[in-house]
Amino acid sequence: MNLILLGPPGSGKGTQAKFIEESYNLKQLSTGELFRNAVKEKTALGHHIQQYMNNGHLVPDEITLDVVLDTIKRLKESAGFIFDGFPRTIVQAQSLYERGIEIQLVINFIIDLSRIEDRLARRRICFSCKREYNIKYQPPKELNICDRCKGELIVRKDDAPNIIKKRIADYQGLTHKLIAYYREKQILKDIDADLPIEEVRLEIKNILDPLVREKK
């Protein structure tokens, strides 16, 4: 089973992808994470894409598709993918379709846009193991120290307030169009992403459990 998590920046896609990965034996494929790794490792790809990311713009479709298709090939033994942050454009969605990569479900995270800045300004990420925290909603036990690996917690470069605005604008201009695209295919389910993390998790479980039972 392949599923897509669709929603604006900070709507909780990454947080819930981790839960789905652990509970349903699916593999998270986060384009944002793949891109951030490339930047951190200073690869040629990382060098090329960091200007887009640091300015809050989407990485061009052809680069994104190369990275995603290559990752799918490498991980093909997995039971299915949770596409987190991909596709972001109609071109990316059509490319999945043309390659016969079937999507069974799209979960659409609906959030009041005024909440996004509040969440992202407080997001912290472990520099070493990438675990995510939120100093208000999901705080680490010790200030700025990762519970899991004791690594240093840092702020994502693109979580600066002016960049968050650009990311939201890109979502409204481009990614938002995917809602109609997938609704027409009748595989899109809306969830209320304004709720606390545990309640959003329950909404997802209520959607996924019947689907998993059907597949058995």
Which residues make up the interface to ligand AP5 (CB under 6 A)?
A: 7, 9-15, 31-32, 35, 52-53, 56-59, 64, 85-88, 92, 119-120, 123, 132, 134, 137-138, 158, 167, 195-197, 200
β-bridge partners, 125:
132, 154
Catalytic residue, chosen from 156, 157, 183, 205, is 156
Backbone angles phi, psi at 135, to 5 degrees: -65, -15
Nearer to ligand AP5, 12 or 26 (CB): 12
Token duo for residue 151: 């690594």
Catalytic, 88? Answer yes
Query: Nearest approach, Cβ of 151 to ligand AP5 (angstroms)?
Result: 16
Query: Nearest approach, Cβ of 52 to ligand AP5 (angstroms)?
Result: 5
Nearer to ligand AP5, 1 or 9 (CB): 9
Give the span between the Cα atoms of 166 and 156, in whole angstroms: 15
Catalytic, 13? Answer yes
Query: Nearest approach, Cβ of 121 to ligand AP5 (angstroms)?
Result: 9
Give the span between the Cα atoms of 92 and 69, in whole angstroms: 11
Catalytic, 183? Answer no
Catalytic, 201? Answer no
Nearest residue to the partner ligand AP5, using Cβ: 32
Give the span between the Cα atoms of 4 and 181, in whole angstroms: 13
Query: Nearest approach, Cβ of 55 to ligand AP5 (angstroms)?
Result: 8
Q: Closest Cα partner for 8 from 122, 85, 95, 83?
A: 85
153-154 β-sheet, strand order: 132-134, 123-126, 153-154
Catalytic, 167? Answer yes
Give the span between the Cα atoms of 92 and 89, in whole angstroms: 5
Which active-site residues does the annotation give? 13, 88, 123, 156, 167
